[in-house]
Amino acid sequence: MSKLVVEGVSRTFPGHRGGAPTRALEPTDLRAEPNDFITILGPSGCGKSTLLRIVAGLDRPTEGRVLVDGRPVTGPGADRGMVFQSYTLFPWLTVAENIAFGLVESGRPAAERREVVARYVDRIGLRGFEHHYPRQLSGGMQQRTAIARALANDPEILLLDEPFGALDNQTRALMQELLLGIWQRDRKTVLFVTHDIEEAIFVGTRVVVMSARPGRIKTEVPVDLPYPRHYTVKTSAAFSDLKARLTEEIRVEALRASDVAAGAGGA
**Chain residues in the site for another protein (CB under 8 A):** 56-58, 75-78, 80-82, 84, 86, 88, 90-93, 101-102, 105-106, 133, 135-136, 146, 149-150, 153, 159
Backbone angles phi, psi at 192, to 5 degrees: -125, 115
Outline where 15-156 has alpha helix (H): 48-56, 95-99, 101-105, 110-123, 139-152
CB 261 to another protein: min, Å: 26
* Nearer residue to another protein within complex by CB, 102 or 140: 102
* Nearer residue to another protein within complex by CB, 23 or 132: 132
* Nearer residue to another protein within complex by CB, 34 or 57: 57
Angle in degrees, 0-180, between the axes of helices 139-152 and 110-123, rounded to the nearest 10: 140
CB 114 to another protein: min, Å: 18
CB 239 to another protein: min, Å: 32
Backbone angles phi, psi at 13, to 5 degrees: -90, 130
* Nearer residue to another protein within complex by CB, 78 or 260: 78
* Nearer residue to another protein within complex by CB, 149 or 213: 149
From residue 220, how far is each of 29, 70, 176, 179, 245 by CA, in Å?
12, 23, 21, 22, 12
* Integer Cα distance of 81 and 153 in angstroms: 8
Are the C-beta atoms of residues 160 and 148 closer than 8 Å to each other? no
* Nearer residue to another protein within complex by CB, 132 or 245: 132
CB 56 to another protein: min, Å: 6
Are the C-beta atoms of residues 25 and 215 closer than 8 Å to each other? yes
* Nearer residue to another protein within complex by CB, 83 or 221: 83
Q: 217 pairs with which residues across the strands?
A: 210
CB 86 to another protein: min, Å: 5
From residue 181, how far is each of 124, 131, 139, 178, 226 by CA, in Å?
10, 25, 20, 5, 13
CB 6 to another protein: min, Å: 17
CB proximity list for 236: less than 8 A, separation 6 or greater: 225
* Integer Cα distance of 260 and 263 in angstroms: 5
CB 159 to another protein: min, Å: 8
For residue 217, give the H/E element and its range: strand 216-222
